[in-house]
Structure 1
Amino acid sequence: MAQPLAEVLTRLRVGNQTFIINFYQQQREHFTHWAGLNHQVEPAQAHELLRAVLLEFYDQVADGRLTKLPDDLRAHLYSMAYERIAAEKNTAGLPVVEASRRQRLLELFGHLGSDCQKILMYFYFRGYNFEKVAGKMGFANATVARLQKSGCVRTLYELVSRGPGLTAPDEEAIDL
């Protein structure tokens, strides 16, 4: 990591992923050992977790949520991985009714079109404001993004209201 931090951020923002690829290659074994020792994560799962964390980090840099590299990048990324592991363990202990409700919502979410899925993911899970959603989705402005999100939530609500026997019409995704 001999590159100056500002240069790394600039390269990441313009889509150059060399830094991330190099980090993955250099840290993969150490991360696997850490995840296995501290969190009982299998090697294949650890590799996938590290890739997911690096992609999340890349997204944070690319869309401006992260404006400077942390002093200890490895500790920052390991912390992100720990948060994912802890969240996964927390959901595993849900009561059966809540777990099945969440599974049903996830299944219904899959019936939405890809644009609706992206909009809802950006807004609810990544915390993007409507301006940022509009930019990511190519909408004219924040108002259009808000209206699109509203329509997607309405569609998801209608799917939930239909009851447990839902099958998507003609097995195609439902979109606005």
Structure 2
Amino acid sequence: MPTPLAETLTQLRIGNQKFLIDFYQRSRHLFARWAQRKHQLPPDKAHGLLQDTLLDFYDHVADGRITRMPEDLRAYLYGMAQERIAAHVPAHQPLPAAEASRRQRLLAQFNQLSTDCQQVLTYFYFRGYHFEKMGGKMGFPNATVARRQKSVCLRKLYDLVRGGYEPITGEVV
């Protein structure tokens, strides 16, 4: 069963890159043919370009520049690759070590939250649900309870980030 687009963006925002890896594996040969035909790139350079473009796409999703999945993802990514080529962006510029480390720590701390807290924060921050909708999805009696739960969960995540690294268990308070 295919993953809904909103779920894909949510997974990307919390650091799960499986979708991008699968896309790369399915599309790299087709992309290499396109890059060869349009830009005379050999397959190894085309594969590197696709990897870099997918990482750029991931960064745009993670930092909020992309809030909706493009209708034609392949065309969107090819356009991003075209822009990289036109701008002569060097290949394989990894994230700075500090940023990569920060993202990994934040993902690990997010995963320490209870499943309910992860769900509440995902609904609010990554899917953009308003409190009424989030309350309905989570089974809360009203929007005020949803707002309080989001606040409690955000506080728990903030505490984890600030120094308390003990896993939080149990249900949402």
Aligned-pair distance for 1:85? 1.1
Q: Counterpart of 1:70 in 2: which secondary structure?
A: coil
Q: Counterpart of 1:31 in 2: which secondary structure?
A: helix
Alignment partner of 1:60 is 2:55: no
Q: What is the TM-score with the length of structure 1 in the denominator?
A: 0.50
- Report what 1:11 is aligned to: 11
Q: Which amino acid aligns with 2:3?
A: Q
Q: Which amino acid aligns with 2:70?
A: P
Q: Is there any run of 5+ residues in structure 1 with no aligned partner, and where?
A: 90-116, 123-134, 137-176
Aligned-pair distance for 1:87? 1.7
Q: Counterpart of 2:50 in 1: which secondary structure?
A: helix
Aligned-pair distance for 1:3? 1.2
Q: Distance in 1 between matches of 2:79 and 2:39?
A: 12
- Report what 2:43 is aligned to: 43
**How many positions carry a matched residue from both structures?**
96
Aligned-pair distance for 1:60? 0.5
Q: Distance in 2 between matches of 1:46 and 1:9?
A: 25
1:88-146 alpha-carbon deviations (Å, 9 max, x no partner):
29xxxxxxxxxxxxxxxxxxxxxxxxxxx89xxx9xxxxxxxxxxxx98xxxxxxxxxx
Q: Is there any run of 5+ residues in structure 2 with no aligned partner, and where?
A: 90-95, 104-173
Q: Distance in 2 between matches of 1:74 and 1:2?
A: 16
How large is the RMSD of aligned CA atoms in angstroms? 2.5
Q: Distance in 1 between matches of 2:83 and 2:6?
A: 26
Q: Distance in 2 between matches of 1:3 and 1:44?
A: 30
1:14-69 alpha-carbon deviations (Å, 9 max, x no partner):
11000000000000000000000111011111010000000000000011110001
Q: Which amino acid aligns with 2:84?
A: R
Aligned-residue sequence identity (percent) comes to 56
Aligned-pair distance for 1:2? 2.0
Q: Distance in 1 between matches of 2:85 and 2:56?
A: 14
Q: Which amino acid aligns with 1:82?
A: Q
Higher RCO (C-alpha under 8 Å, 6+ residues apart): 2
Aligned-pair distance for 1:86? 1.4
Q: How does 1:1-176 map to 2 (within 5 A)?
A: 2-88=2-88
Q: Counterpart of 1:55 in 2: which secondary structure?
A: helix
Q: Distance in 2 between matches of 1:33 and 1:6?
A: 30
Runs of 4+ in 1 over 4 A off after TM superposition: none
